[in-house]
Amino acid sequence: MRSFYRETPPVTKKGSPSIRSNLAGQIAQMIDNLIADGHLMPGQRLIEQELADQLGVSRLPVREALRVLAGDGIVEIIPNAGARVRVLHARHINETSKVLIALMGVALDELETLVDRDAIIAELETIVTRMSAAAKAKDAAEVAHGSVQFQLKLFDRIENECLKEVFRKIRIGNYQGQVRNLFQDSTILQFATHYPDVVKNLKAGNYSKAKKAFVKGLNLLTLLEKDPNPPVGPLPRDARLRRNSGG
């Protein structure tokens, strides 16, 4: 997946601050992707040397990358304890979902005005076809990945830079990774069934129905909790096994 979230500064001469900043930005993106893909779990400690070994770099740019991610709210740096993946709460997930619904509505309005909208819709349909195949194979991880790709593709192709910037702040890959960790696979798979309706209505020029189909799918990921701030963290191992087995 190409970097949509962060543009790194141009490379200058070796050893300069710009080079170090560029490398830290790239590493921050890689760590963000590991979180989004579920390789690093909410609440998990991030040990600099382990990450450096995994990514094939030294500890210094990893430390800088973690500071970048802490500034973005992706990780937390705890005094005398190091860094860990930020643990989100149900309220945060719900609020992000509401904002995402609003942004997608505006993005689809923007899509309707583009001259090349048919080509963009065809690209979105290709992603949805892969999502449907993944859902049929009960591959929830690939469905979640497809959902991220759908939204990245749409926001990448529209021309409203202000809307793009707001979308970047959601950190859709990280948000989807947290959702993937929380919900049962059956819910993620059901989520995929609404995307074909989105594309079908876009192809028919019915953007209002396309929005409704997207909202209907995203509403599946609304958390109904008695506690307004229950932590979203790693499930116990036996619970994760039950979730992955569909039990």
| pLDDT tens figures, 41-83 | 888 999 999 999 999 999 999 999 999 999 888 899 988 888 9
Radius of gyration in angstroms for the set of CA atoms belonging to the chain, rounded to a whole number: 19
Instruction: Report pLDDT digits (tens) over 123-140.
Output: 999 999 999 999 999 998
Say yes or no: 34 and 154 in one domain. Answer: no
Q: What is the pLDDT of residue 225?
A: 44
- Nearest CA to 72 among 176, 161, 162, 169? 169
Rounded Cα–Cα distance for residues 118 and 25 (Å):
34
Residue 11 belongs to a domain: no
Residue 4 belongs to a domain: no
Question: 110: domain range?
Answer: 89-244
Last residue of a domain, one of 61, 86, 111: 86
Residue 12 belongs to a domain: no
Rounded Cα–Cα distance for residues 237 and 21 (Å):
37
Q: If you ran DSSP here, which 8-state letter would residue 34 be given?
A: H
Query: Is-above-0.85 flag for pTM?
Result: no
The confidence band for 247, taking pLDDT boundaries of 50, 70 and 90, is very low
The confidence band for 223, taking pLDDT boundaries of 50, 70 and 90, is low
Q: What is the pLDDT of residue 228?
A: 43
Last residue of a domain, one of 59, 86, 113: 86
Q: What is the pLDDT of residue 115?
A: 94
Say yes or no: 151 and 55 in one domain. Answer: no
- Nearest CA to 141 among 184, 98, 92? 184
Residue 49 belongs to a domain: yes
Task: Tell me which of 16 and 55 has the higher pLDDT.
Answer: 55
Say yes or no: 65 and 161 in one domain. Answer: no
Say yes or no: 74 and 145 in one domain. Answer: no
How much is the mean pLDDT over the chain?
A: 80
